[in-house]
Chain A
Amino acid sequence: MSLDLFHYLALTLGQKAPIAAICVGFCCGLLGCFVVVRRVALVGDAISHAVFPGVVAGFIWSPDRNPWMIFLCALVAGLFGVVVVRAIVSSTRLKSDAALGIVLASFFAFGVFWNSTQQLAGVKGYLFGDLTTIADGDLWMMTGATAAVTTLIFIFLRPFRVLSFDEGFAIGLGYPVRFLNALFFGLLAFAVVVAMQAVGVILVSAMLITPAATAYLLTDRIQKMMGLSVLIGVFAAVGGWWISGLDNRLQTGPVITLLASFIFALIYLFAPRHGVLAKFLRHAGRKSRVHRENTLKSIYRILEGEGFKVAGVGVEQLAEVRKLSIEDVLKDGKDLVDNDEATWEEGKTAIYLTSPGWRRATEIVRNHRLWELYLTDQADYAADHVHDDAEKIEHVLGADTVRKLERDLNFPEFDPHGKPIPSLEATLTMEKTIGKQEGTGY
C-alpha cells in the first residue's frame, strides 16, 4: 500500500477522518492480537499515559508544532515508561500490575505538572484526540506509521508468534529475544501514539484490546485472529466515526469505543465455540445426558437384580432405588422417552427400555465396571475406593478407550465386586429377547 494511494483516497473522499480511522483500526487491530495473547494488554494503557511528558516536551521544543517532533518525543517517553516498568518488576518484589500503575500515574502526573507550569495550549487536544480535526501532517504520519508497523509485523511474524506464546521456547530456538522484545514494545508505543490522536489517551486501550479480544473468541489460529481483529478494528473505527456524525453531541473516540465494546458483547454472548451461550448450552446438554445415563444405569441394575427375567421396571421401584420422589422419576422417565431410549407402559406405572436405550445402559454399566477393574488391577486401588471415580468416568469413555481397556485387562468377565461385565454379544442377545417381549406385548 503506497502512501500516495491513501492520499489520493483522502482527496477523493474529501475527508481525512475515515482514512485516519482505517489506519488506527488496522494498526491497533494487528498489534492488539499479540498484546492480548501475551497478556500485556495494560502495557498499552501505561504507554498511552506515559507519553504525556513527551508530548509536552515536543510542544516546548518544537514551537511550530512539527508532528514528527512531537511524535518522536512521545515515543521516547512511552518507551522509557516501558523500560521503567521492566526495571521495577525485575529488581523488586512488586508485580507488574503495581509497576504499570506506578509508571502510568507518575509519568502522567509529571506531564500534567510540566504542562501546568508552561501553560501550553493544544497539549490536551493532543491527549484527547479527535478524528474529525486531524491535520494533514498528522494524517501523513498515521498512514506512514501504519505502513511501517504492518510491514515490520509481517517481517517478524514468525519470531513474534513464538515469543507471544512461549518466551522460553523462543530463547531455546536462539531468537534474539531482547531485541525482539524491544522491537515489539517499540511498535506498541508507535501504535499507541498514533491511535491516541484519533481516540484519546484513555480509549487507546480499547482500540488495542477490544478488537483483538473479540477475535480471540472466534478463532484458535493467530493469522485468522489477526485478520478478524483488523476487520473488527477498522469496522469499529469507521462505523464509530460515521455514527458520531449523526449527532453533534457525540464525540468520535467514545463512540468508536462503545461500538467496539458492543461487537465484543455480541461475540461474547454468541460466539460459536467460546461464546457464553454456546458454552452454557453445551454444559446443559452434557448435564442432561449424564442424568439420563444415570437413570438408564439404575434401570439396568434393577433388571440385573431380577436376573433379566422381566423387561420393565416399575416407577415406584425405580424411585426407591434412585432415592427420588415419584414426580422426579416420572420426569426422568419422560427425558428417556423423549430421547427414544424408553417407552412407558400404559398409565405410566412402569418403564421399558427400547433398543437404543438398552444398548446405552449396557455401555454405561460396562464402562463403569471395566474402569473399576482397571483401577484395582492396574492402578492398585482398593476395591472399595473405585466406585466414585468410575461414576464420573463412565460418561466420557469413548469406544476406542473401552476397547483398549478390554485388551489391557484381557477381556474380563467380572468386575472387582464380582458382578458380570456385560459384553457386546450379551447385549445383542438381550436386545433380541427384549424385542421379542415387546413383540408379544409383555
Chain B
Amino acid sequence: MLSWNPWGWMMMMCFFVALPCALLGVYLILRRMSLVGDAISHSALPGIVVAFAFVGDLSSPWLLVGAAVAGVLVTVLIEQIHRRTRIKQDSAIGIAFTSLFALGLVLIRFLVGDKVHLDQDCVLEGDVSHVAYAKIVSMFGADVPDALIPAGIVAIATVILITVFYRTLTLSSFDSGLAASFGYKPGVVHYALMAVLSVVVVAAFEAVGAILVIALLILPGATAYLCTHRLKLMLVLSAVHALISSIAGIYISVYFNGKESAGVVIAGTLLFLLAWLVGPVDGVMVKAVQRRKNTLDKSELE
C-alpha cells in the first residue's frame, strides 16, 4: 500500500534513530551527564568489535549486547576513577572513553580485519543512505526496508520503557536521595539508563556514527530545555525536535548534496539556535525583553 521514495525511508530511519536518543537525552541533560553520553558512544566500539568477532555478522543483535556491556563498563570505570581518587569526573570521562575507544580501534585490526565495513570512517560519520537500497520485506501489510526494522524496534522499546518507568526515572534524576527513601533504587536506575543508552547509541551507530549521535542525544533535550520548565512538555518537544530535524535534515542534504546524517544534525542545530534566540523560557531575546520590561516597571513606580 505504501510506496515511499527512498528519501521518505531515510527520513523515517533518521526519526527512528533520533527519537530514542532525544528522549534519553532529556534525562542526560537533567542529570548533567551529557558527556557520559559522549563517552558511551565512543566506548561502544570495543563491545561491538568483540561481539562481531564472535558472531561474524554486523546485523546480529549480539552486537547490541556487546555495546551495552561496554557502555556499562565505561560508566563503571568513570566512577571507579573519580570516586576512589581525587581526579574529577571530567578527567575520568576523558581517560575512560579514550582508553576503550583506542582498544576498539586496535581490536578492529586484529579481530575483524579489512573485509568488513567497520572502520574509523563509519565510527565518525555513519551512513543512512543504505536504507534506500536495503532489501524490502513485508511487515504489517506494508513493504518496509529491512534495515528500518531494528531501529524501529529500539525506538518503540525506548518509548515504552520511558513511559513505564517515568516516575522512577524522573524522581531519581531530580532527587536521588528522595527516590532512595521511597524505596526506588537510584543506583539500579543509573546503570539501567546507561545500558539502555548504550543500546540506543549502537542502534544509531550505523546510521550516524559515534560523534554525530552525541548531537542527536543532546540537541533535542537542550532545545526543549530552553523552551519549557515542565518535564513532560520537554520530552514532547524533544521528540518534535527529532521529527522536524529528521525531515528538514534530509531536505537540506538533498539540496546541498551532502551527507544525510550530518544534514539532520545541522537541522537540529538550527532549531537549537532558534530556541537560543527566541525560546520562551531561556531565549536571549525573550530575556532581553523581560529585562527591559522590568526596568520600565521600576521607572513607573518611581
* B272 neighbours in A (Cβ, 8 Å): 102, 106
CB–CB A36/B34 < 8 A: no
CA distance A92 to B287 in the complex (A): 10
Contact stretch, chosen from B9-17, B93-101, B140-148, B187-195: B93-101
Q: Which of B238-261 contact A (CB under 8 A)?
A: 253, 256-259, 261
A91 within 8 A of B: yes
CB–CB A203/B101 < 8 A: yes
* A217 neighbours in B (Cβ, 8 Å): 85-87
B29 within 8 A of A: yes
Q: Which of B249-302 contact A (CB under 8 A)?
A: 253, 256-259, 261-263, 265-266, 268-269, 272, 276, 281-282, 284, 287
A399 within 8 A of B: no
Nearest to B281 among chain A residues (CB) is A93
Q: Mark B75-100, 1 if CB is under 8 A from A, else 0.
A: 00000010011111011111101110
How many residues of chain A have a CB within 8 Å of chain B?
60
CB–CB A249/B262 < 8 A: no
A261 within 8 A of B: yes
CB–CB A36/B91 < 8 A: yes
Determine the main DSSP class of A at the interface with B. Answer: helix
CA distance A100 to B212 in the complex (A): 13
A197 within 8 A of B: no
Q: Mark A167-204, 1 if CB is under 8 A from B, else 0.
A: 00000000000000000000000000000000011110
B207 within 8 A of A: no
CB–CB A106/B215 < 8 A: yes
CB–CB A113/B258 < 8 A: yes
A228 within 8 A of B: no
Partner among B84, B98, B256 whose Cβ is within 8 Å of the Cβ of A209: B98
Nearest to B33 among chain A residues (CB) is A97
* B98 neighbours in A (Cβ, 8 Å): 202-203, 205-206, 209-210, 257, 261
A270 within 8 A of B: no
Q: Ordered nearest first, which 10 A-B pairs have the shortest CB separation?
A: A105-B215, A109-B265, A206-B98, A257-B102, A113-B262, A116-B259, A209-B94, A254-B102, A261-B99, A106-B269
Chain A interface residues toward B at CB < 8 A: 36, 39-42, 44-45, 49, 88, 91-95, 97-98, 100-102, 104-106, 108-110, 112-114, 116-117, 124, 127-128, 200-203, 205-206, 208-210, 212-213, 216-217, 249-251, 253-255, 257-258, 261, 264, 268, 274, 276, 279
14 A-B interface contacts by CB (under 8 A): A97-B32, A98-B222, A104-B211, A106-B215, A106-B272, A108-B212, A110-B269, A112-B124, A112-B212, A113-B256, A127-B124, A128-B120, A253-B105, A257-B99
Chain B interface residues toward A at CB < 8 A: 29, 32-35, 37-38, 42, 81, 84-88, 90-95, 97-99, 101-103, 105-106, 109-110, 120-121, 124-125, 211-212, 214-215, 217-219, 221-222, 225-226, 253, 256-259, 261-263, 265-266, 268-269, 272, 276, 281-282, 284, 287
